[in-house]
């Protein structure tokens, strides 16, 4: 069973989130004419970069969720879909584990990058 994003954390991200389609193409040069293009795979993961505004308690919850529940961020989890109903199956990228910045009394910004699994 896959763990779910904690309900005590924000269920919607900041408006400056980014969603990028996976690069599923391979190109090969041809002797003449344009390169030959084909799909690399039928299962590619899109990238979702986001920012969350958290309280100190929510920051602790997120750190515990990543370290303990997700085994350091290595396991997938369900996350509320941001532009549609339902949930996404996601996991953090290695370079996209949550990073925190303090910007006010009891206010933190968490920045992270996830892969939306196919």
Element (H, E) at 27: strand 25-28
pLDDT mean over 58-72: 97
Residue 39: domain span: 3-23+34-116
Q: Please check whether residue 16 lies inside any domain of the structure.
A: yes
Query: What is the pTM (predicted TM-score) of this model?
Result: 0.81
Q: Please check whether residue 74 lies inside any domain of the structure.
A: yes
Instruction: Say how many domains are in the chain.
Output: 1
| Cα 107–chain centre separation | 21
Give just the sign of the alpha carbon dihedral 65, 70, 74, 80: negative
pLDDT of the residue at 22: 64
pLDDT value at 39 more than 70: no
Average pLDDT across the chain, whole number: 89
Q: Please check whether residue 29 lies inside any domain of the structure.
A: no
pLDDT value at 8 more than 70: yes
């Amino acid at each position: 069973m896959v763990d779910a994003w904690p309900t005590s954390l924000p269920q919607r991200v900041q408006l400056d989130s980014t969603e990028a389609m996976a690069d599923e193409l391979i190109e090969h040069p041809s002797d003449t004419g344009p390169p030959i293009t084909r799909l690399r795979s039928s299962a590619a993961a899109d990238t979702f970069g986001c920012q969350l505004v958290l309280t100190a308690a929510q920051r602790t919850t997120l750190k515990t969720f990543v370290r303990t529940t997700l085994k350091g961020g290595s396991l997938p989890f369900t996350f509320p879909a941001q532009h549609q109903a339902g949930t996404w199956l996601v996991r953090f990228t290695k370079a996209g584990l949550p990073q925190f910045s303090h910007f006010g009394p009891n206010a933190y910004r968490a920045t992270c990058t996830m892969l939306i699994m196919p």
